[in-house]
Structure 1
C-alpha cells in the first residue's frame, strides 16, 4: 500500500494524509479555479489570505481532533508495551462503547488472561507440586527478592523416611511430606522462606535472626513436627542443620555449611539440631 511506503511508522500520519486529501485538496483545486477565472491571486489577495489562514487553522484543528480520537489507541499501545516489558497491567477505561471501546475492553480481558496464565506457569515452575513449598529455583528467587541480607539458614531432613516408604507405602510417605510442609508453614513467620529441595529435605531461611535465635526456632519446629505428625502411634522426628548467613550472595556456601551440620545431627543420634557458624565451615 502506498501509504505504508509514505508513512511506514505513523498511523496518525496516514489518517491525517487521507483527511487532508479528502477535504483540502478539493478546496484548494476549487479555489485555484476561481482565482484563475477572476484575475488570479493578485486580484484576490485578501481572499487568498483568508483562505490560507482558514486552511492553516483547519489543519491544526484536524491534527488536534485526530490526536484526541486516536488517544485510546495510544493508551492501548502503552498498556501492552508496559505489560510486555514490566509485566505490569494497566487497566484501560471501559466507558467507550464504540469500536475503539470494544478493542480496549478486549485488551483488558486478554492481558488479564495472559497475566493469570503467566503467574500460574511461574508458580508451577517454582513450586513443589506435592507440598506447595518452593522448589530450589523458587527458593533462590524468593531469597534474592527479599530485602533482608542476613539471617539463619536451616537444612532439615526427616528421620528414617525411607523406612516409612518401605513399610507403609509411598502414598503414606507423600502424606507425611504434605503434613510436614503444612506444619512448618504454620509454625513459621510470614517473612520466612520455606523450600523443599527434593525427597524429604526442607530448607528454611529465617531473615534478620541471629544463629542463636534461629537454632531456637529450629528446635521449636522439631518439637512441633513430633507433636503434630503421627504415624501409627509413632512420632515423626527431624534432624536440622543451622548456620548464619551474612549475605544472600553466600547462599551456596551457607547451604553447604548447613548440610554439614545436618550430617552431624544425623550421626549424633538424629532428632536434634546442630549448627555451624560462617567461620567454622
Structure 2
C-alpha cells in the first residue's frame, strides 16, 4: 500500500522541519545568527491515466489524467539573511553591520570566511580578531599604548595614542557582498563559506553603494522571532501527527484485507 510509504516521507520531512526550528530556537541569542527555513518539494508522480491522448482510436481526447504523488522530500534548508536588531554593548571592539555586507575573516587554513558577528577583540600581537581568535581581514593592529579606538561608519579605524592629540589611522575595514547570500555554506562558529551557488565575493568599502555601514559599540542580534518559531513548531507537530494517522489508517485497511483473504 503506497499510503504507508507516502506518509513515511511526510513524517521524515516534518522531523527535518522540527530539527531546523530547534536549531533556530537554540541560537536565539547567538550574535549575527540567521534563522533557517526548511523548503520541501513533492516527489515523482505515478501516472495511472495520461491526459491529452485519445480515449480510443479516433475518439475524444482525455481532458485530464490521473497522477498519484509519491510523497515529499527536503529540497533545501535556506538561511534567511534579514537584518537583526542591534544592541549597544559599550565595548569599543564590538561592531555591527547596518545593511548589506559581511565581515571577512581569515580562517585557520588561511582561507577567507564571512561573518555578520562583530564581537571582536585583540590577540597578543594587537591584531583585531574574532572570539575564536581568527584574524579580521584586512588585518588591523591596534597599538599597545592606545587609549581610544574609533571606527567610523565607513570602516576607517583610528587610534588615539597616549600623549598624542591627533588620531592615528591604523586601518580600513572592508565588507563583502554576494549575488546569492542563500548560497553561502554555513560552517558553524558564526562563519560562512563562499560557494559556486553564492557567487564570488564582491569586496568594497562600508557606505559605498550596495554596502552597509559599520556601527561601533553595537552587535547585531539573531533574527530569530520566538513567536514565529513556536507557531511553526506547532504546525510541524500537527503535520507529523496527521501523517502518523495516515499510517495507522493504512495499516488498519491492510489488516481488513488480510482478514478477508483468510
Which bin holds the TM-score, normalised by the shorter protein? Answer: under 0.3
TM-score, normalization: structure 2?
A: 0.22
TM-score, normalization: structure 1?
A: 0.20
Greater relative contact order structure (CA < 8 Å, 6+ sep): 2
Q: Which has the higher helix share?
A: 1
CA radius of gyration, larger in? 1
